[in-house]
């Protein structure tokens, strides 16, 4: 019995991680290059389904292989206190006297600590203390450290981000105050992943200074030749075959959108399997792509429209005729038979809700892939 090798599931590691070598190198070099290497604080952004979660999983795997301790968290209420509990499980006493609340880091902690309200268990100083205690432990060898990954960062509270930024900066300066040579110093690496819009929303406040210095990487579409090669290799490993031409056609259909790559792969493979064949043909690719689109609509497009008002949908439908190209804002008033002020009102709401974005030149486009095609099919 052959097993479908493709993995169209959120957060599931794909059979081949396509087109991400450069960013993986940025990260692993940072671990080897020691305290102060830029990639030790990273900010990874990407639209839904572009592979942020699997990127973080890969980073933790790499760090573990280099004998780092790893903590994987997802931003939601209580983030900092969960980090503290993970770092300092019961039995390890956090000595309150170790804190020096007057320490401040120019531009970051001093301003924000005053405004933010921290409960005892989400206090940046507690987090700093927990990190330092953990780093002191013999389990972590010289030159190694702790990697923390935070997924869905756009959902983090400002307080939690300020606390994390402050604590990590403290830990870095604490290490500088010791006379251990840099190569032997234990360190903290932290990678935040989230939706692209958070760069504007979150970076407008004190967290800015910290995250602006982070190495920022945007996960984009993966190159089609790489997708084609991954299709060829994955299909061959699974005991089936596909021609170069068909693999390239499947890659084109996916547009290099990572989630779509897995969907197209999964359904073209399934199509051949259901015929009882080990050869994936161009018909299987075509059938696979249409099944992939249906699955994509259910998983991404339909949920994106949940909660939109009828006026918002009228606006979006007026845009759909142009997609995948952008729409002139002026055309929307005409198509929807509404006033200019109606258009500017809903334009602002939909941009805020991340369903569309402005592309300049008085144009807007869908922020969710395939949403335009989906709306046309309704």
Ligand X SMILES: Nc1ncnc2c1ncn2[C@@H]1O[C@H](COP(=O)(O)OP(=O)(O)OP(=O)(O)O)[C@@H](O)[C@H]1O
Contact with ligand X (CB under 6 A) among 105, 261, 293, 316? 261
49 near ligand X, rule: CB under 6 A: yes
What mask, x for binding ligand X by CB under 6 A, covers residues 157 to 176? Answer: --------------------
Contact with ligand X (CB under 6 A) among 2, 11, 64, 218? 11
User: 45 or 126: whose CB is closer to Mg ion?
Assistant: 45
**Pairing mode, strands 327-328 and 363-366:** antiparallel
Q: For residues 330 and 10, is the Cβ–Cβ distance under 8 A?
A: no
User: 150 or 171: whose CB is closer to Mg ion?
Assistant: 150
Contact with ligand X (CB under 6 A) among 7, 82, 158, 338? 7
What mask, x for binding ligand X by CB under 6 A, covers residues 347 to 376? Answer: ------------------------------
Please choose, out of 42-50, 116-124, 284-292, 331-339, the segment that lies near ligand X by the rule CB under 6 A: 42-50
5 near ligand X, rule: CB under 6 A: no
- Smallest gap from residue 73 Cβ to Mg ion (A): 13
Q: Number of residues interacting with ligand X: please give it, by CB under 6 A.
A: 24
User: 75 or 336: whose CB is closer to ligand X?
Assistant: 75
Q: Which residues form the interface with ligand X (CB under 6 A)? A: 7-12, 14, 17-20, 46, 48-54, 222, 258-259, 261-262
């Amino acid at each position: 019995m052959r097993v479908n090798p493709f993995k169209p599931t959120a957060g599931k590691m794909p059979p081949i991680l396509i087109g991400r070598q450069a960013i993986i190198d940025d990260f692993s070099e940072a671990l080897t290059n020691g305290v102060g290497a830029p990639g030790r604080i990273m900010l990874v952004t990407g639209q839904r389904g572009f592979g942020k979660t699997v990127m973080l999983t890969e980073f933790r795997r790499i760090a573990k292989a280099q004998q780092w301790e790893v903590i994987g968290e997802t931003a939601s209420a209580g983030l900092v206190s969960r980090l503290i509990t993970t770092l300092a499980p019961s039995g390890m006493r956090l000595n309150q006297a170790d804190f020096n609340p007057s320490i401040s880091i120019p531009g970051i902690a001093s301003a924000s600590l005053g405004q933010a309200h921290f409960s005892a268990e989400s206090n940046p100083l507690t987090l700093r203390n927990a990190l330092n205690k953990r780093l002191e432990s013999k389990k972590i060898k010289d030159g190694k450290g702790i990697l923390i990954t935070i997924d869905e960062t756009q959902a983090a509270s400002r307080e939690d981000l300020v606390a994390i930024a402050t604590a990590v900066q403290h830990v870095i300066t604490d290490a500088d105050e010791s006379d251990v040579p840099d190569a032997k110093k234990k360190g903290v690496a932290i990678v935040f992943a989230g939706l692209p819009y958070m760069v504007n929303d979150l970076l407008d406040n004190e967290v800015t200074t910290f995250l602006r210095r982070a190495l920022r990487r945007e996960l984009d579409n993966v190159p089609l030749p790489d997708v084609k090669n991954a299709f060829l290799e994955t299909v061959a490993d699974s005991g089936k075959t596909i021609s170069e031409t068909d693999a390239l056609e499947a890659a084109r259909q996916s547009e290099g959108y990572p989630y779509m790559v897995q969907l197209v792969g999964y359904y073209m493979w399934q199509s051949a399997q259901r015929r009882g064949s080990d050869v994936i043909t161009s018909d299987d690719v075509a059938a696979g792509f249409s099944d992939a689109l249906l699955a994509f609509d259910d998983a991404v497009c339909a949920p994106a429209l949940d909660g939109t008002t009828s006026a918002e949908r009228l606006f979006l439908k007026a845009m759909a005729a142009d997609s995948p190209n952008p729409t002139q804002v002026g055309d929307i008033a005409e198509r929807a038979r509404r006033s200019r002020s109606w258009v500017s009102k809903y334009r602002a709401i939909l941009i805020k809700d991340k369903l569309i974005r402005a592309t300049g030149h008085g144009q807007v486009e869908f922020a969710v892939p395939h949403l335009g095609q989906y709306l046309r099919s309704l």
